[in-house]
Amino acid sequence: MSEITLHVTDRHRFFSEVRELAAALDRGERTPAVPQLHFERAETLLRVLTPNRWVLLRQLRRSGPGSIRALAASLGRDYRGVHADVTALLDLGLILRDAAGKVSVPWSRITAELTLEDAA
C-alpha cells in the first residue's frame, strides 16, 4: 500500500525530526519511512486541502489516470476550477502527471493528522 501522511508540525519540531533522521542515516540506519508532508499551521492544511480537493482526490483515485477535462466532467465541476485544484495538488505531490498528460493519485491512503494543540 502506498501511503502519505500529512502533519501539522511547528518549525522547531520539524527541524528536530530532520536532525534525528540525519543522525540515524549517519549511523547507517536505513528504515523505510512513510512519505510525509508537513504544514506549519492547521489553517494552512485546511486552506490547501479543501473539501472539493478531497472529493477530487477520491474521484481520481477511483477512476484512475485521466485528463483534467474528464475529471471535471465526472465531478460535475467547471474545468477551470478543477484545473486550479489539480495544479495545487500536483505542487504538493498528492497527484502526478504522466508523460501523456494524464493525472493520477499514486497513494492508496492519504492520512491527515491534526491535534487540538496544533489547531490552536
List the CATH number of the domain containing 32: 1.10.10.10
Distance CA 104, CA 65 (A): 4
- The string of pLDDT tens digits covering residues 32-57 is 677 888 888 888 899 999 999 999 99
* Host domain of residue 95: 3-119
Q: How far is CA 120 from CA 35, 38, 101, 106, in A?
A: 25, 17, 40, 32
Say if residue 119's pLDDT is above 70: no
What pLDDT does 15 receive? Answer: 66
**How many domains does the structure of the chain reveal?**
1
Q: What is the value of pTM for the model shown?
A: 0.79
Please write the tens of the pLDDT for every residue from 55-109: 999 999 999 999 999 999 999 999 999 999 999 999 999 999 999 999 999 999 9
Please answer whether residues 41 and 12 qualify as being in contact, where contact means their C-beta atoms are separated by less than 8 angstroms: no
